[in-house]
Structure 1
Amino acid sequence: MTSENEFQLFTSLRYDPLLLESQENSRPVLNFVAPSPFYMLAYHRDRMVEAAQHFDFDEVEKRLQDGKALHEELLKRTKTEIERSGKDRAMKVYNAVILLEISVDILQLRLLFDKAANLTVEFTDVPAVPLSTLYPPSLDPPNSKVQHASSAAFKPSPLTGGALTLGPDDSLPASTSTPPPPPEWTLKLDTAPTPSSPFTLLKTTKREMYDQSRQRALPENPAGAAYREVMLYNEVNELTEGTLTSLYLFRGGRWVTPPVGVPSGEFTSKTLKDDGADEGELRKPFAGRWGHSTRSAKVGAGGQRGTSRRWALGSGYCMEEPVSIDTVQVGEGVWVSNGVRGFGYGKVVE
């Protein structure tokens, strides 16, 4: 019988051949091999190392030191999985008349390490999305007229012999200049706090708190309902994260994300220094005399340092800032993101 104290470290990431075309995804800070079909693999490796150090999974830490070896092992396992079950998945997609827009070559990889560093990889089909969903040009709302993204360098089509020029009354089709909107989410605020702990900060298979949150706030929906999210908050009524995603809310004229705590350790200190980041320590926030949070700038709210969240902070799209649940309003727009689906935009509902 497995002890309730036993758990595995894990992370979930995206395998998508479209990422081979992404210059951003090929940056050395995001991947060990370029180009790579894995979405921010280096960031996933980093947070698994952080968890391994915190929970004393020493063999896991050793195994993760070689990032290129990790890339090659995952690529080999993924290709084997596609070859082994490609026919079965293709038949399922055909029978479903592709209603879910599933691509047989786009997968979620769930990496699980036990304390002895044995690696298990679980594969799940995921929907296709454009690169702009994985690496958005900004966090402007999808219907915003303001666009911060710079235009890509013009590449003449070989069909025109390179002679195409635009006159003063000409324009390119909108579809070539405006990325498609991100997936739409609906978000509900949880009805009870989720206490902060190392298991809300670091990704492990101890996820009962997230299942309980979805059962409380989404009783009529299955736990795995896509594009529905529950916004978690801690003991002092500060938002921490979603059950599946990192959160970004518009406050004070800019997008902010709840601060997180990070575990102590040489590896964590180095990654924060390399990022130029200044994120919270692993210390619990506590209520002050008047019930509000009393914190230093170094105290995290209790959520996870998500991979896509780390990218958004490093790209200057948002800042860390505590967000009280008292400020959350029905109808307000919220960005969400995770390491499998990328970024999405939604509204808070009752």
Structure 2
Amino acid sequence: MSSSSPVTINGHATPAFDIFSSLRYDPELPKLASQHPEHFPEPLNSPYYLLAHHRDRLINAARYFEWKKAFEEGPAWMKGDLNSLQEFLDSRIPDRHRPWRLKLVVHRSGHAWCEIAEAGPIDPLNFMVPGSGARSDPSPWRVFVDSKATFPSGFTAHKTTARDDYTDARLRSGITTPTQTDEVLIINNNGEVMEGSITTPYFRRRGGSSWVTPPLKCGGNAGTTRRYALAQGFCTEQVITVSDLVDGEECWLSNGVRGFIRAVVVLK
């Protein structure tokens, strides 16, 4: 796919889009990583959650969409320089003593910018895979199943601003604000779970003690916390169909801003 070619999603023309990754700045992260170095990837001294994974996600998306200018004329971190990415983000943090939600955006021209919003406090242990230490979990989120299938494409495999399918799925499930502690599972045409609208889901399969997450072949996004959870051995990949889900079953959700979230499936 050429960056100058028309862009289509589900057979429909789509306006120009950007690629992005959402991550968290938290001053507690370096201390947590130093106390549990076996549970965190490098760099351990970074206040940015899974920083290298976010860089890699943006690079992989730019490669997929063949955004040549993003590499040739973009920032040094689009060529892999992690130090330059941290410096770029550091220059945009208004108060280093508080947590922040960052949306790191890259245009096909190579222009990059960062949108910042306040982030509420989270137990630092929630940034580690479940079972890594005692944690103070709030009430579980509710997880619904979308009533309409979504067609897998490069726009579901990579994080882009062309997110109408995700917005529509959330609205169909009654999720109208970002502060709701609710999530909806995105389903492909085969009735397989692809991912959540803003999270990666994990389910415990019947007859087993381990957790599983949908494989990328189902059409979902290669999320940063998903990569982290797989590397830590918290989960393996397994196709999950809607018929596999059980009303009231416990599950986990994760993303690069909130870490790992306890949840429960709601089918009725």
Q: State the TM bucket, normalised to the shorter chain.
A: 0.7 to 0.9
Shift of 1:76: 1.4
Q: Does 1:69 align with 2:84?
A: yes
Q: How does 1:238-249 map to 2 (within 5 A)?
A: 238-249=192-203
Contact 2:145 2:186 in 1 (8 A): yes
Aligned to 2:146: 190
Q: Aligned pair count? A: 247
SS at match of 2:176: coil
Identical aligned residues as a percent: 34
Aligned to 1:310: 227
Q: Does 1:10 align with 2:20?
A: yes
Q: CA-to-partner distance for each residue in 1:283-313, whole Å, 9 max, x for gaps?
A: xxxxxxxxxxxxxxxxx00000110111110
SS at match of 1:346: strand
Which whole-Å CA distance do the structure 2 matches of 1:4 and 1:196 have between them? 15
SS at match of 2:99: strand
Q: Does 1:117 align with 2:130?
A: no
Q: CA-to-partner distance for each residue in 1:130-171, whole Å, 9 max, x for gaps?
A: 221011352xxxxxxxxxx48xxxxxxxxxxxxxxxxxxxxx
What's the TM-score, normalizing by structure 2? 0.86
Q: Does 1:82 align with 2:92?
A: no
Q: How does 1:62-211 map to 2 (within 5 A)?
A: 62=72, 63=75, 64-65=78-79, 66-78=81-93, 81-82=94-95, 105-138=98-131, 149=132, 178-181=134-137, 184-211=140-167
Aligned to 2:172: 216
- Aligned amino acid, residue 264 of structure 2: K
Q: CA-to-partner distance for each residue in 1:207-259, whole Å, 9 max, x for gaps?
A: 000001011111xx414243210011101000011001000001141210000
Q: Does 1:49 align with 2:64?
A: no
Shift of 1:127: 1.5
- Aligned amino acid, residue 45 of structure 1: R
Which whole-Å CA distance do the structure 2 matches of 1:256 and 1:184 have between them? 19
SS at match of 1:331: coil
Shift of 1:348: 1.2
Q: Extract unaligned runs of 5+ from structure 2.
A: 1-12
Contact 2:129 2:234 in 1 (8 A): no
Contact 2:19 2:105 in 1 (8 A): yes
Aligned to 1:258: 214
Contact 2:251 2:265 in 1 (8 A): yes
What's the TM-score, normalizing by structure 1? 0.66
Aligned to 1:290: none
Mark the structure with the bigger radius of gyration. Answer: 1
Which whole-Å CA distance do the structure 1 matches of 2:56 and 2:32 have between them? 21
Contact 2:28 2:47 in 1 (8 A): yes
- Runs of 4+ deviating beyond 4 Å: 24-27
SS at match of 1:196: coil
Q: Does 1:324 align with 2:235?
A: no
Shift of 1:15: 0.3
Which whole-Å CA distance do the structure 1 matches of 2:102 and 2:70 have between them? 18
